[in-house]
């Protein structure tokens, strides 16, 4: 799990370093194994060479003494009484001669092996010596951490008759070879250290080079948005796999832009169709009572009626009321559809908010400001429209059985101006929170539901944001934030 959390660059870096370390350890292990094999072969071959040389030396001695002594097993100690020491001294090896039954005849008594010389050869050795094709046997043993080899071969006369058994005890001394191995490992350690440092540098640069393209692609993918134009990825000198990924991303961007255009067009057409249905429905509502009123007046009109003036006055008021409703509907639709022009007037936001609140006579509306002057660039008319819509929305959200209370507050920080409008109304239910700023959404029996959608449209035109916090049956607080400088 921890390995999965590492970045690709880190994993490439660690993999390359691990590869170098494993290769170094493997080479060192192979070198040590090869040394041990060569050491074993060296001692085996050296013992064989010593044995052949001593055999040749012994045969020369036998040939030179055959005129003096009869060359038989019993005379071996006499023949080699003095010569065995010369042989041992020349060949630097202890020499033991046994009869064919395994009893010791004579020995140079070399001091290479501290233990007493065996007086007899084991039966197993004699049996192996007699029954092997080469008539040779090598015994190995470990004593005090040192390895000894002991070879056994037959000595024959000129007629190849077996006279005695030659035993050569051999101590495997590895001091020189061990020193050579230590020096080799020291040199190869320095070489491995240098290679490791080079590998660290190369792995760092290579991993950075490999992941650089992937990082660029990742940044582009994270920045991809449906609502705006996205830039294509341009990477030179990339591998075939990266190029394939880049081409796939660029193709996706082309398809995404085409889909976004189609989606935007479809959404606009659908929005205007829905808006047209809503406007037609709202206009149709007052037309029906107007038609009924005209028909009723036409049917009951009597010039001689004494109450004709009062009836005419009632008829006129009804028509005017319905005409005002239609006018309000047309104005709301016009205000929502028209994008506010960015005048970027330098305003004292505190004074403009006070001016917008002057049209309200309700004494439960309170206003506070962080300071008397908070300057920002905004359109005066549009700012008044934002405040009046939010306050009207707050007033309409307060039920009749509750004492109304609305607080408006203006604050600022280094870069932004914040306006909050808080009411103690019914609040917004959870299922309606995502629909508050949608056009034609309303929970009231009258109106078109364009007020908050229009406010959001105005605020976002000036690079601002609008948000709200609401609690059921407690109230709602709307917060408008926009930059001081456009």
Three-state secondary structure readout of 350-391: HHHHHHHHCCCCCCCEEEEECCCCCEEEECHHHHHHHHHHHH
Q: Is the pLDDT of residue 437 over 70?
A: yes
pLDDT value of residue 408: 94
Return the DSSP state at 137.
Answer: E
Is the CB of residue 164 less than 8 Å from the CB of residue 100?
yes
Same domain for 292 and 424?
no
C-alpha–C-alpha distance, residues 31 and 81, integer Å: 47
Same domain for 38 and 154?
yes
Q: Which residues contact 103 (CB under 8 A, 6 or more apart)?
A: 119, 120
Between 39-43, 86-90, 249-253, the lowest mean confidence (pLDDT) is in 249-253
C-alpha–C-alpha distance, residues 480 and 152, integer Å: 107
Residue 81 maps to a domain: yes
Long-range contacts for 133-138 (Cβ within 8 Å, ≥24 apart)? Answer: 138/44, 138/47
User: Which of 303, 337, 371 is a domain's end point?
Assistant: 337
Residue 365 maps to a domain: yes
Q: Is the pLDDT of residue 113 over 70?
A: no
Is the CB of residue 110 less than 8 Å from the CB of residue 93?
yes
Q: Is the pLDDT of residue 443 over 60?
A: no
Residue 184 maps to a domain: no
Same domain for 331 and 468?
no
| CATH number of the domain where residue 34 is located | 3.30.450
| Domain that includes residue 257, residue range | 240-337
Residue 202 maps to a domain: no
Same domain for 35 and 165?
yes
Query: Which of the four pLDDT bands, split at 50, 70 and 90, describes residue 446?
Result: very low
Same domain for 18 and 163?
yes
Q: Is the pLDDT of residue 34 over 70?
A: yes
Residue 148 maps to a domain: yes
User: Which of 284, 318, 337 is a domain's end point?
Assistant: 337
The whole-model pTM stands at 0.38
Q: Tell me: the pLDDT tens digits for 137-190?
A: 888 777 666 777 888 888 888 777 888 888 888 776 666 566 777 777 788 888
Query: Who has greater pLDDT, 303 or 264?
Result: 303
User: Which of 157, 178, 199 is a domain's end point?
Assistant: 178
| CATH number of the domain where residue 320 is located | 1.10.287
Same domain for 26 and 168?
yes
C-alpha–C-alpha distance, residues 332 and 336, integer Å: 6
Half-sphere exposure of 365 (CA within 13 A, CB side): 20
Strand partners, 417: 412, 482
Q: Tell me: the pLDDT tens digits for 237-249?
A: 556 666 776 777 7
Average pLDDT, the chain: 77
| CATH number of the domain where residue 471 is located | 3.30.565.10
Same domain for 173 and 118?
yes
């Amino acid at each position: 799990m921890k390995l999965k959390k590492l970045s690709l660059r880190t994993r490439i870096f660690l993999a390359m370093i691990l590869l170098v370390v494993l290769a170094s350890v493997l080479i060192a292990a192979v070198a040590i194994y090869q040394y041990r094999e060569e050491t074993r072969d060296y001692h085996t071959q050296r013992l064989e060479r010593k044995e052949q040389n001593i055999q040749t030396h012994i045969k020369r001695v036998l040939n030179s003494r055959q005129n003096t002594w009869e060359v038989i097993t019993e005379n071996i100690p006499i023949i080699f009484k003095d010569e065995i020491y010369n042989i041992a001294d020349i060949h630097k090896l202890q020499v033991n001669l046994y009869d064919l039954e395994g009893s010791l005849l004579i020995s140079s008594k070399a001091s290479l092996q501290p233990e007493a010389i065996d007086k007899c050869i084991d039966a197993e050795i004699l049996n192996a010596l007699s029954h092997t094709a080469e008539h040779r046997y090598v015994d190995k043993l470990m004593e005090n951490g040192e390895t000894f080899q002991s070879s056994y071969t037959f000595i024959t006369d000129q007629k190849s008759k077996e006279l005695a058994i030659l035993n050569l005890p051999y101590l495997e001394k590895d001091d020189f070879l061990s020193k050579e191995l230590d020096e080799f490992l020291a040199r190869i350690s320095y070489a491995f250290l240098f290679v490791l440092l080079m590998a660290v540098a190369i792995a760092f640069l290579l991993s950075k080079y490999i992941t650089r393209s992937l990082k660029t692609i990742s940044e582009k993918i994270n920045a991809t948005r449906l609502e705006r134009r996205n830039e294509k990825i341009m990477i030179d000198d990339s591998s075939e796999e990266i190029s394939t990924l880049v081409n796939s991303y660029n193709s996706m961007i082309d398809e995404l832009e085409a889909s976004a255009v189609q989606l935007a067009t479809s959404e606009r057409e659908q929005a205007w169709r829905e808006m047209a249905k809503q406007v037609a429905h709202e206009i149709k509502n007052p037309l029906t009572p107007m038609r009924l009123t005209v028909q009723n007046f036409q049917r009951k009109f009597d010039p001689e009626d004494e109450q004709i003036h009062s009836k005419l006055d009632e008829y006129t008021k009804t028509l005017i009321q319905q005409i005002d409703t239609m006018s309000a509907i047309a104005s709301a639709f016009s205000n929502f559809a028209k994008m506010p022009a960015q005048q970027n007037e330098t305003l004292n936001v505190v004074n403009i908010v006070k001016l917008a609140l002057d049209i309200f006579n309700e004494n439960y509306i309170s206003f506070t400001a962080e300071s008397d002057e908070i300057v920002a660039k905004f359109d005066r008319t549009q700012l008044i429209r934002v405040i009046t819509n939010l306050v009207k929305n707050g007033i309409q959200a307060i039920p009749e059985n509750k004492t109304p209370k609305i607080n408006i507050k203006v604050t600022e920080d280094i870069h932004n101006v914040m306006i909050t409008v808080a009411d103690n109304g019914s609040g917004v239910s959870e299922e309606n929170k995502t629909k508050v700023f949608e056009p034609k959404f309303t929970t009231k029996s009258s109106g078109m539901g364009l007020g908050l959608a229009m406010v959001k449209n105005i605020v976002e035109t000036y690079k601002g944001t609008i948000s709200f916090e609401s609690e059921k049956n407690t109230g709602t607080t709307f917060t408008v934030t926009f930059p001081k400088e456009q």
